[in-house]
Amino acid sequence: MMEKKVYQYIRDNRLLDTGDNVTVALSGGADSVALLWVLRALAPRLGLTLRAAHFHHGIRGAEADRDAEFCRSLCADWGIPFTLGRGDAPGRAAQSGESLEEAARALRYDFLLSAAPGKLATAHNADDNAETLLIHLLRGSGPRGLGGIPPRRGRIVRPLLRCTRAEIEALLSAEGLPHVEDSSNAEDDCLRNRLRHRVLPLLREENPSLAAALGRTAALIREEDAYLSRLAVRAAAECRAGEGWSCEKLLTLDPVLRRRVLLAALRDLGLEDPAAVYVEALERLLNAGPSARLDLPGGNAARREYDLLRFAAPETPKVLPELALTLPGTTVLPQKLGRIEGFVTKNSYFSKKNLTTFALKCDMISGHELRVRGRRPGDRLTLPGGTKSVKTLMIDKKIPARLRDALPVLTLDGKPVAVFGVGADPAYLSERESPALVLSLIPDP
């Protein structure tokens, strides 16, 4: 009966294809032994090449050694190729800051996927799925978490997801299949075990088919989640603007789609399961001022630069130190900020609207010291519209905050007379047909 149920689930969800090389993640427990037995029985019908792999986490002492030997012996008896891996979960946890459970899981899946030349089959069942859904519900998860355990994720497939733990135990009893018990499963020191031992039995009194009911709910949520994700991909494409997203367009989206666009952006940064707090913070960032920043896990950051929302690793702001200009000649700026070319001409022909090239009156700068530096508090510059702080002028030009300290400020005896990318004091600009010192900012390629 269970063999037929698993076969139909594999077909319904297209988990396995004829000719697949399938590695069973074999812990030695009831679930994984049942999975290995069922796939061994179905292998000729499905055309599968079957093998098994077991990972020793370096915890649970002699009991873990027993499990590894049991799995090796079982596979030898059943004629199934077997691979054993070992790791140091406590050592990884101490080094990475992960919990022992997180470290063990990471090491286990790293090994299992490396040991599996094709697909990796894990023994998650319907009760595991129900527990996972409830855990995510208690933690306030969104649709992705409430979708429970998916039938497949990449190369990982879960053929037993429609089978309950009771059905698995009945199979082991009927077929006389041996297995080992992990003593830690009897302890109530983790949320999953407390739900398994205390909560789920009470819920089954209300609905004996609880696992199946929650499985159907999870499947419906996954389908709707996938549909909304497809809509969000299209919405994200429409909101793209250069190297980021248009804040204005993001804010016009339905909140459901906007949250999904922001979640996808966070996942693209490497956050596997971003917390809701970061999505909420990004929502606030969209409504913040024209220059705002949000630090994110993993050394990443989100910035609002006027209407543009950008994601990037935090950068150390570039600040241009004070430098004397080589005149005539080339002054190379540090930190790959470009170079300033300077030459003298007897016949100025440069437009005053060019913000990266200025032609200055020779008679006004002769005998004075020209230097460049980054902006400083209190810097002011006179332009045709009046005198303003350099900071205000940069904001008016919508220059992102991260770039403002890198723009060269041209000073004459310490007084700002021009800012590349912003403008120059018209009193110092040469007229056409007049001698001039021409200064041009050339960006690095």
The number of residues in the chain equals 445
pLDDT attached to residue 332: 93
Whether 81 has a pLDDT exceeding 80, the answer reads yes
- pLDDT band for position 353 (50/70/90)? low
Comparing C-alpha atoms, which of 304, 339, 316, 273 is closest to residue 136?
273
Same domain? 343 vs 398? yes
What are the φ and ψ backbone dihedral angles of 321, each rounded to 5 degrees? -75, 170
CA distance 82 to 351: 77
- Tell me what the pLDDT averaged over the chain comes to: 89
pLDDT attached to residue 434: 84
Whole-model pTM: value is 0.64
Q: Which residues of 384-399 are buried (b: 16+ CB within 10 A; e: fewer)?
A: eeeebebbebbbeeeb
Same domain? 352 vs 434? yes
In the listed set 219, 253, 273, which residue is the last one of a domain according to the structure?
219
Is position 155 within any domain? yes
Is position 234 within any domain? no
- pLDDT band for position 349 (50/70/90)? low
Is position 168 within any domain? yes
Dihedral angle sign, alpha carbons of residues 125, 126, 127, 130: positive
pLDDT attached to residue 194: 92
Same domain? 286 vs 329? no
Same domain? 340 vs 308? no
Using DSSP bridges, classify how beta strands 152-153 and 156-157 pair: parallel, antiparallel or unpaired: antiparallel
Is position 225 within any domain? no
Same domain? 167 vs 288? no
For the stretch 240-266, pLDDT in tens is 998 888 999 999 999 999 999 998 888
Using DSSP bridges, classify how beta strands 436-442 and 329-332 pair: parallel, antiparallel or unpaired: unpaired
Total of domains in the chain: 3
Same domain? 291 vs 329? no
Same domain? 381 vs 281? no
Read off the CATH number of the domain in which 55 is found: 3.40.50.620
Residues facing 429 on adjacent strands: 360
Q: How many CB atoms lie within 10 A of CB 264?
A: 15
Is position 178 within any domain? yes
Same domain? 95 vs 167? yes
- pLDDT band for position 379 (50/70/90)? very high
CA distance 254 to 249: 11
Is position 224 within any domain? no
In the listed set 168, 184, 219, which residue is the last one of a domain according to the structure?
219
Same domain? 13 vs 147? yes
Same domain? 304 vs 180? no
Residue ranges making up the domain that contains 385 = 323-442
- pLDDT band for position 315 (50/70/90)? low
Contact 107, 98 (CB under 8 A): no
In the listed set 266, 291, 312, which residue is the last one of a domain according to the structure?
312
Same domain? 196 vs 114? yes
Read off the CATH number of the domain in which 271 is found: 3.30.465.60
More reliable by pLDDT, 291 or 55: 55
CA distance 203 to 214: 11
For the stretch 141-183, pLDDT in tens is 778 888 999 999 999 999 999 999 999 999 999 999 999 988 7
Is position 366 within any domain? yes
Is position 233 within any domain? no
Same domain? 175 vs 40? yes
Torsion angle, alpha carbons of 204, 206, 209, 212, to 10: -90
